[in-house]
Structure 1
Amino acid sequence: MAGRRPAGAGALRLLRARGRALSLLRWLGMLLLQPLLQAGQGCPEHCSCFSTPEFVQCSDVPLQEPPPDLPRGVRNLSIAGGNLTVLSRAAFAGNGSRPLGNLSLLLLARDNIQTIAERAFQGLPSLEELDLSLNPLRALAAGAFRGCPRLRTLKLNQALLLLGEEPLAGALRNLSLRRLELAGNELRELPGAALPDGLEELDLRNNSLQGLSPEELARLDSAPLGRLQLYLDANPLRCDCALRPLLDWMRNASWRVPDAHSLRCAAPREVSGTEVLHLRLEQLGCGAGRELRPEEAGEQEELETASYVFFGIVLALIGVIFLMVLYLNRRGIKRWLNNLREACRDQMEGYHYRYEQDTDPRRASASPSSGL
């Protein structure tokens, strides 16, 4: 019995090793065959399907509409270089017949999208990021993004050149975006009405902004946009006195403009290429000979008042220090005054004694007799 125990233990270890090997082979087989099975079961034609996470990519394919046979478990969908032109209602969910409940990322760059209809993205309840860049948008319905309660990032870079601010503001009104990208749209002013409340990042790079007015800056400082970060690189900033509100705003809260150190002046010629944060007040041309605007005059009065207050505080501080010195040296000062008084008294007594000697009549009468 004692000799059989090692043999039984060895057989048990061998069986366990075979079981682990079979489990490993089974797992590797499933891992390798899963993409093939998925491609054979639900991958659209002319598209590529990947797994972990589920990703469908359709690049440079002349699609006239979104693929109708998208797998239900897709999480990331990229369609680039197509000719979708019009996105109708529930365009990616087959009018509600095949909702894509797991889709969180949708990339639709360079798809010649010109019209986005009402509830075009309905049936995508998990959509968090949508990229519509490089599309010549001409019409955008007010409820185009309804049905996407989790949408947090929207990219519209070079997509608004043919679309006004009013349609954009209507489409973004009820969204809870955290990041909005509007780069390369030739914007000349801040799209204030189009900014949804609670927005945290706004990309306005490569536009036509020459600066921001005090009213626009006040809109950014309001409570709904108090945490907003603004990206302004590659804008033709005009560095004259009109830029001073923006410059003060950036210097007072540098975190509001993360790319502030890369901003350069485009005009006038004297400061072209100069880093905006390194500008001095005299370089902006805000001299005394120029008539100040009402808001600038008020700001100057506030600065002057603050200077007077600071000067008064300094004088008061000097006075307090002087009084403290006098108080701490009161004994020495008293001793010095007593010594001075004694010295003066001695001097006056000396003068008084000499005066009495000079006016004595006996000394005056003795003078002639002494001469004889």
Structure 2
Amino acid sequence: MTMRFLPAVIFLGTFALRWSVEAGKCPRVCSCDSTKLTVACVDKNLTEVPSTIDEITVKLDLKHNNLQVLPRGAFMRTPYLTHLNLQRCNIVKVKEGAFRMLGRVVSLNLAHNKIDILYQESFDGLSSLKELQLDHNRVEEIQPGAFMQLGSLNMLALTHNQLVYIPNMAFQGLQNIKWLRLSHNSINNLAPEAFASLFTLTRLSLDHNELQFFPTQAMTRPREVTRLDLSHNPMIYLGEESISMAKLTHLYLDHMSLQDLSEQALSQAPMLSHLDLSHNQLHYLDPLSGPKKLVSLNLTANPIYCSCYMRPLRNWASRGGVKLLGACAGPPHLSEEPLRAVAAVDMRCRSKGDQLKDEFEEEEEKMPAVSSTPTAKPKGNVKCPVNCDCDIEAQHATCENGGHTKVPRGFPAKTQLLDLRSNRFHDIPANSFPGTSQVISLHLEFCKIHQLAGGAFRGMKSLFYLYLSDNDLTSLDPEAFSGAPELSYLHLEGNRLAQFPGSALRLLPSLFVLHLERNAISKLEPAGLLSSVTPKLRELYLTNNTIRTIARGALDSALLGKLHLDANQLTDVPIDAISNAPNLEELNLSQNRILSVGPDAFKPVSQSLKWLYMDQMNMEKMSQDSLASLGPGLKALTLKGNQLKELPDLSFLTGLEVVDLQDNPLLCDCTLLPLRRWMDNVSLEVGATCGHPPVLKGQKIRNLDLFKSCTSDSSSTSDRKGLVAPAQVKVKKAKLNSVKAPGVKAKPGKNNVKQPKQTKKKPQRKPVAATVTKKKKVITVKTV
């Protein structure tokens, strides 16, 4: 019997011996679980993949390191991996063959890195990969064949990158892809074959991009798509047969700029069941031809006028059992009434209806004219100027880099996007764009323009986007934009404007976003500059000018939500300039020479401010109460690249999601006790290191024992309403001069801080919701 079981005993002994040997192979800075075959080397400042990881490891977590470049064969020693986490590793480049030998990996996380190009063989070897996370990188180019080796991939996430254009066959090789996520990029154009070969794709996310027109041709290629999200794109209307997707069931077109929708727009989407058109500019809607299974039509937050023009839609919805969501915006007696509750008979043009009809038609004239019936495709040659290309179906025309010295004429009447960039026009005279009343987007970048005559864009009543970037403009004629009342996005960055062009902007009542980066503006005045000139402005970009002074109230605006003043010559926080900007959410003051920030510096915008950037300002002092008025609404605070030795009180900023203190020479003594307590009491991962004194340089604040000898009284080194008191800082340093190294107890001596006896307090319990019902927030705080 003993001999019978001897082989099993030998096997178990050998297995146990092997694991005892293998346990020694765990990299020194990592945590290894031999039972689950997992290795975690998180936040260890690694610059390369450890070479001593056990080859039978199946899950490897390397997030929060400093790998920068993944070389060829980076994971040759771990061929059995199934899950690999490389997020937040400062990865700039993935070299050809970096993942070879990883034929078993099913999940790869490369999110939150700095990758800008996806090369042809970047993912070679990942033949079993199911999920690839590339979100929050800097990807701006996808080379042909980048995904050829990913035939098993089900989900690809490329959200929050810098993609502008998707070329033909960009995703070739993804034979089993189910969900493609391209949200939060800057995509304004899709090649006709961009999604060709994606025969299994069922879900496509393109929300939060810059698409001005529905990409009809590109969308006909992925024939199995059932869910399409195009919300938050600046589309104004959908023409006939825009959407030709036979299996589409859910379509999201919310939060766009839709002013009109052809009744034939969805005629080629017969399976559509849910259509979201909420948060647009629709005044009415015709019954939709095509969808036979529609059950929900969301028109919430549209200015719907419930007159006789809406009666056909109401009857159509009742007959088809379509649930209408939304409410009437008018007439007054039906205002805010739910659409589903208003009877069709009540939707009428009452007595003296001609007057109402005239008012309604005035609103219609502001919308692009769209025929309600399909038009025949043109035959023969399309009318188009010399050295230009005109696509009458896409309604695009381009003369980019065509050698023109005068604005060409004779474009098709229905042209909506007109691209004239990289020509040499020098000056644009009055009435330079006849016959372009339907143009929505006009590109005039890099055209050497130094003068715009009054009425240069006269007749462009549909113009919504105007790009005048990187020209030679030094000033603007007060009438330069007359005749373009719908202009909402204006790009003037990269010119030589010496003054804020307020007089010219008065003719743009709909201006929403204004770009004035890289000009020569030195001051902003008088008071009320924005409120009197651009009352609807939401975003103002003044980065990289020479602004030194801003008049009190100059930037007051009821709707302003985003203000970038970085890379200027300000010496104080310009809070007086925005004293009446109740909706300001984002303020960027980085790269100004603001050396100190006083108490309650941001009080006027404390109820709205969510993102505050103050990097690389050589700032030396911040009052303990400088951020006191902001409270839980603040989500992001960056102070990197300054000269701060102490920090303001952060304890009340309970809503923070991003904090960056990199390259600040923090002084590690009792003055940092509030920071240490904050780090201990919040459900955040905070990594902060010392800059001073030299013996503690580079040490993590969380690991220091010196704070045990600090008391609340000893940490109060500054007037709560003033700036840091240097004399008191010196006292703190003297008290701690016996500390030799973190974790080493100081010997008794006259310089040691004696901690008074206290009754032991129960540790404060963190809210259960923070650890159970919420995902853990991750905040990286780095200092040098």
TM-score by length of 2: 0.29
Residue 180 (structure 2) aligns with: 106
Q: Which has the larger radius of gyration?
A: 1
1:125 maps onto 2:173 in alignment = no
CA gap 1:26/1:206 in 2 versus in 1, 3 angstroms: closer
Q: For residue 89 of structure 1, what is the amino acid of its counterpart?
A: N
Match of 1:35 among 77, 83, 87: 83
1:269 maps onto 2:332 in alignment = yes
Q: Secondary structure at the match of 1:237?
A: coil
> Does the aligned pair in 2 maintain the 1:116–1:139 contact within 8 Å?
no
1:246 maps onto 2:313 in alignment = yes
1:74 maps onto 2:122 in alignment = no
> Does the aligned pair in 2 maintain the 1:169–1:193 contact within 8 Å?
yes
Offset from partner CA, 1:120-164 (integer Å, 9 cap, x none): 1223222211111121125776532354232222222132526x6
Q: For residue 209 of structure 1, what is the amino acid of its counterpart?
A: L
Distance 2:260 2:247 in 1: 23
> Does the aligned pair in 1 maintain the 2:182–2:207 contact within 8 Å?
yes
Residue 355 (structure 1) aligns with: none
Residue 334 (structure 1) aligns with: none
Distance 2:343 2:219 in 1: 45
Distance 2:338 2:127 in 1: 47
Residue 275 (structure 2) aligns with: 202
Distance 2:284 2:11 in 1: 73
Gapped runs of 5+ residues in structure 2?
A: 19-33, 39-55, 60-80, 88-97, 101-107, 116-122, 358-784
The offset of 1:227, in angstroms, is 1.0
Distance 2:224 2:259 in 1: 30
Offset from partner CA, 1:36-55 (integer Å, 9 cap, x none): 399961766757x9999822
Match of 1:134 among 208, 216, 220: 208
Q: Secondary structure at the match of 2:219?
A: coil
Distance 2:213 2:302 in 1: 26
Report sequence identity in percent.
22
Residue 255 (structure 2) aligns with: 184
Offset from partner CA, 1:182-206 (integer Å, 9 cap, x none): 2223223334333123232322122
1:227 maps onto 2:293 in alignment = yes
CA gap 1:16/1:145 in 2 versus in 1, 3 angstroms: farther
Distance 1:37 1:203 in 2: 36
Residue 167 (structure 2) aligns with: 88
CA gap 1:119/1:76 in 2 versus in 1, 3 angstroms: same
Distance 1:140 1:265 in 2: 27
> Does the aligned pair in 1 maintain the 2:282–2:302 contact within 8 Å?
yes
The offset of 1:89, in angstroms, is 0.9
Q: Name the Cα RMSD after superposition.
A: 4.3
> Does the aligned pair in 1 maintain the 2:238–2:260 contact within 8 Å?
no
Q: Which has the higher helix share?
A: 1
CA gap 1:119/1:59 in 2 versus in 1, 3 angstroms: same
Q: Secondary structure at the match of 2:158?
A: strand
Corresponding residue pairs, total: 266
Residue 236 (structure 1) aligns with: 303
Residue 665 (structure 2) aligns with: none
Distance 1:226 1:14 in 2: 70
Distance 1:129 1:77 in 2: 11
Offset from partner CA, 1:27-82 (integer Å, 9 cap, x none): 886653311399961766757x9999822222332211137654613221111222
Distance 2:347 2:176 in 1: 53
Q: For residue 311 of structure 2, what is the amino acid of its counterpart?
A: R
Residue 141 (structure 2) aligns with: 65
Q: Secondary structure at the match of 1:247?
A: helix
1:268-347 pair list within 5 angstroms:
268-279=331-342, 284-285=347-348
CA gap 1:53/1:263 in 2 versus in 1, 3 angstroms: farther
CA gap 1:186/1:104 in 2 versus in 1, 3 angstroms: same
Distance 2:222 2:343 in 1: 47
CA gap 1:13/1:204 in 2 versus in 1, 3 angstroms: same
Q: Secondary structure at the match of 1:36?
A: strand
1:152 maps onto 2:230 in alignment = no
Residue 264 (structure 2) aligns with: 193
CA gap 1:283/1:138 in 2 versus in 1, 3 angstroms: closer
Distance 1:151 1:289 in 2: 49
> Does the aligned pair in 1 maintain the 2:254–2:280 contact within 8 Å?
yes
> Does the aligned pair in 2 maintain the 1:113–1:137 contact within 8 Å?
yes
Distance 1:284 1:69 in 2: 55
Residue 131 (structure 2) aligns with: 55
Q: For residue 160 of structure 2, what is the amino acid of its counterpart?
A: G
Q: For residue 41 of structure 1, what is the amino acid of its counterpart?
A: F
Distance 1:178 1:159 in 2: 20
Q: For residue 133 of structure 1, what is the amino acid of its counterpart?
A: D
Q: For residue 133 of structure 2, what is the amino acid of its counterpart?
A: Q
Residue 466 (structure 2) aligns with: none
TM-score by length of 1: 0.57
Q: For residue 91 of structure 1, what is the amino acid of its counterpart?
A: A
> Does the aligned pair in 2 maintain the 1:46–1:58 contact within 8 Å?
no
CA gap 1:15/1:267 in 2 versus in 1, 3 angstroms: farther
Distance 1:142 1:246 in 2: 25
Higher relative contact order (CA 8 A, sep 6+): 1
> Does the aligned pair in 2 maintain the 1:185–1:207 contact within 8 Å?
yes
> Does the aligned pair in 2 maintain the 1:35–1:51 contact within 8 Å?
no
Q: Secondary structure at the match of 1:130?
A: strand
Offset from partner CA, 1:198-240 (integer Å, 9 cap, x none): 2323221222222333xx35x2xxxx42212322222222123
Distance 2:281 2:11 in 1: 70
> Does the aligned pair in 1 maintain the 2:220–2:244 contact within 8 Å?
no
